[in-house]
Copies of this chain bind each other. A is one copy, B any other.
Amino acid sequence: MSVMTETTGKSKPKVVILGAGFGGLNAARELGSAADITVVDRNNYQTFLPLLYQVSTASLPADHIAYPIRAALRKSGAKFRMGTPISVDHKNKTVKLDSSEVIPFDHLIVAMGSATTDFGIPGVEEFALGMKTIHEALVIRSQIMRRFEDLTRFEDDSRLAIVVVGGGPTGVEMAGSLAELVQGPLHKDDYRASKHIDVYLLEAGPRLLPMFSPGLSEKTMRQLENMGVKVMVNTAVKEITSGKTTLANGTVIESEVVVWAAGVKGSPAIHDLSLPVKGNRLICDPTCQVTDYPYIWGVGDNAGVIGENGRPLPMVAPVAMQQGTFVAKQIKRLIKGKTVQVFKYVDKGSMATIGRNKAVVQVKGIRLWGAPAWFAWLFLHIYYLMGGQKRTATFVEWIWNYLTFDRNNRFISETL
């Protein structure tokens, strides 16, 4: 028997939130005691995705970017269920989880985020490593460290190529951090072997970080090259096989490790909800309500809310956070008998870190790079890291890494 049928808050609407990412958690916190909330997520933790590349490159322990959802929800009074939705009964307004539990709702907020997309390029799924989960980040770390250990055994010209595909913020941050790992700790570990590692960054378009100004893209490329990264723009990948990355022009890069940071799509789980989907995202009205389903709300990467430029809003954390808060406010308006508003995304700008004292920031008219941008990046990430414990621990780790040029979170997991 379902727990939720015995709910005690008689007049409170039941709100089920699918997904405990930036969007879902913001919605739960904004709703607070106004609703009888149940949050559902396949994990018992929120992954702080903006810092995932730091786990891949041994800068942070995995636990620092895995925040317990139950701890995040304590103040909101929301219930939590670990599980995956397998179907929605639109007649009775219930959602069924893989645990067989059936949860009734008055409002359903769908905020399940995104998954890696391979754009149909052969071999990506089998031979490239994704950048969306902590497990994937630890696989990348283990693979790199394992290949490095192999390399130390060879006294010949053997080289190790690590290829990062995708010149967006994730790819840029990953490539920069990898270069620093190789030239810092791995250099100290085995001078000779570290000299035999190549880091590539491939971008299909004409420049890195296309959401930034061409000037900042250019600066980013030059800084990465100065750090030893082999940056290749206008370079599409045709196929990935074991140990080989084939480019559109036929060139083959011998690549032992390929990291895929080229694109995301809405979570495939939205296809199980019997809701209208287009381009892997829910079809939503400007109010974030799923079209023709006024009691179902789309939030973040899995929602295709159209922006002012007539195109779906970008799949970035600020959109999800703003929509999570917005949707909660709309539900509270409905409770009070008010009408629903239209969502307006406030673009607060973009930032990406390249390396030590190196970043780019673009906020409306303002463009920063170098150390000022890096400190702005640092401050914002520490500020947004959830929970005082993670914030303190991460800060200590970063200060240590900064002062010593070292990275101590590089153990190889036995099973990865």
- Interface residues of chain A, those whose CB is within 8 Å of chain B, are 1, 3, 6, 43-45, 61-64, 66-68, 70-71, 74, 80-82, 99, 101, 133-135, 145-146, 149-150, 152-153, 155, 185, 188-190, 387-390, 392-393, 396-397, 400, 404, 406, 408-415
* B408 lies within 8 A of A44 (CB): no
Contact A152 B80 (CB under 8 A): yes
**Contact of A71 with B408 at beta-carbon distance under 8 Å, contacts A1-B155, A393-B393, A400-B392 already known:** yes
Q: A155-B3, A396-B396 are in contact. Are A411 and B149 (CB under 8 A)?
A: no
CB distance from A115 to the nearest CB of B (A): 14
- The answer for the CA separation of A1 and B6 in the assembled complex, in Å, is 72
Q: How far is the CA of A394 from the CA of B62 in the complex (A)?
A: 15
**Nearest-Cβ distance from residue A203 to partner chain B, whole angstroms:** 30
Residue numbers in B under 8 Å from A189 (CB-CB):
68, 70-71, 74
The residue in A1, A134, A152 that gathers the most chain B C-beta atoms within 10 A of its C-beta is A152
Q: Indicate which residue in B149, B155, B415 contacts A135 across the interface (CB closer than 8 Å).
A: B415
Q: Which residues of B contact A63 (CB under 8 A)?
A: 61-63, 408-409, 411
Q: How far is the CA of A337 from the CA of B404 in the complex (A)?
A: 41
Smallest CB gap from A399: residue in B: B392
Copies of the protein in its oligomer: 2
Given A63-B62, A70-B190, A99-B153, A44 and B411 touching (CB < 8 A)? yes
**Can you identify 5 A-B contacts, CB atoms within 8 angstroms?**
A43-B411, A70-B189, A71-B408, A388-B400, A415-B415
Q: Contact at B392–A396, with CB atoms within 8 Å?
A: yes
Asked, given contacts A82-B149, A101-B153, A393-B397, whether A414 binds B62 with beta carbons under 8 Å apart, the answer is no
A146 to B68: give the CA distance in the assembly, Å.
13
Contacts of A66 in B (CB 8 A): 411
* Chain B residues within 8 Å of A414, by CB: 43, 133-135
**A153 and B411 contact, Cβ closer than 8 Å, known pairs A189-B71, A400-B393:** no
B406 touches A389 (CB 8 A): yes
Q: Which of A6, A150, A390, A409 has the most CB of B within 10 A?
A: A409
Min CB gap A191→B, angstroms: 11
Bound-state CA distance A188–B70 (Å) is: 9
Whether B408 contacts A68 by the Cβ 8 Å rule is yes
Q: How far is the CB of A41 from chain B (nearest CB, A)?
A: 10
A361 to B152, CA, bound (A): 44
B61 touches A410 (CB 8 A): no
Query: Once bound together, how far apart are the Cα atoms of A93 and B71, in whole Å?
Result: 57
A sample of 19 more A-B contacts (CB under 8 A), given A44-B145, A44-B411, A389-B400, is: A1-B155, A3-B155, A44-B410, A44-B412, A62-B62, A68-B410, A68-B411, A70-B190, A71-B408, A81-B149, A99-B153, A134-B413, A388-B400, A389-B404, A389-B406, A392-B400, A393-B397, A393-B400, A415-B415
In the complex, chain B residues whose CB is within 8 Å of the CB of A43:
411-412, 414
Cα of A189 to Cα of B68 in the assembled complex, Å: 10
* Cα distance, A414 to B406, chains bound together (Å): 28
- The CA-CA distance from A310 to B305 in the complex, in Å, is 78
A80 CA to B152 CA in the complex, in Å?
9
Given contacts A3-B155, A153-B101, A413-B135, contact A408 B396 (CB under 8 A): no
> Are B412 and A45 in touch, CB under 8 angstroms?
yes
- B residues less than 8 Å from A400 (CB atoms): 388-389, 392-393
